[in-house]
Amino acid sequence: MVDNHLVKLSEDKNELGKVEISPEVIEVITGLAAIEIEGVDHLRGNFASGVAERLGRKSTHSKGVKVEQAEDSITLDVFIVTKYGYSIPEVGKKVQENIVQTLKTMTAINVLHVNIHVTGVQFETKIEPEPRKKDSDHL
């Protein structure tokens, strides 16, 4: 079980040393928190992140997430595609809330802003089943 004590993440060393979290870890946590929300179809990265993913340099969970670090906080830009039929403002707000809560719980990092960019809407594609052929059709 996870202990409720949060590790202080700063440049100062404690008696055991310091704890650092790479931006890539923050991107992955952010991406996973975003796709947990009902109404989010997937995250959409840019061309560069797509190439990096194909080369194995970037996780599929971190595409569509940009982290900007300040001295004591971070700002996130998250690029999502929503599912058709969901309220985009409601989905965006839920994504923001889930990302902030998840990062606070897992990292204790202060999140200044979570900017949600909706880059598309995914429509449900219906695949019609092929009609069954009768045995007499094969003759």
The pLDDT tens digits for 42-71 are 999 754 444 454 555 555 667 899 999 988
Rounded mean pLDDT of 7-35?
Answer: 81
Look up residue 80 and give its two tokens: 């999502």
**pLDDT, position 6:** 32
**Which of 26-30, 69-73, 75-79, 107-111 has the least mean pLDDT?**
69-73
Longest alpha-carbon distance in the chain: 83
Exposure b/e, 61-78, CB count within 10 A at least 16 = b: bbbbbbbeeeeeebebeb
Rounded mean pLDDT of 3-24?
Answer: 64
pLDDT band at 4 (very low <50, low <70, confident <90, very high): very low
Which residues neighbour 121 within 8 Å (Cβ) at sequence distance 6 or greater?
A: 81, 82, 83, 84
pLDDT band at 37 (very low <50, low <70, confident <90, very high): very high
Let me know: does 102 contact 26? Beta carbons within 8 Å: no
CA 85 to chain centre: 21
Q: Domains in the chain, please, with CATH? A: 23-124 (3.30.70.1350)
pLDDT in tens, 87-138: 999 999 999 999 999 999 999 999 999 999 999 999 987 666 677 766 665 5
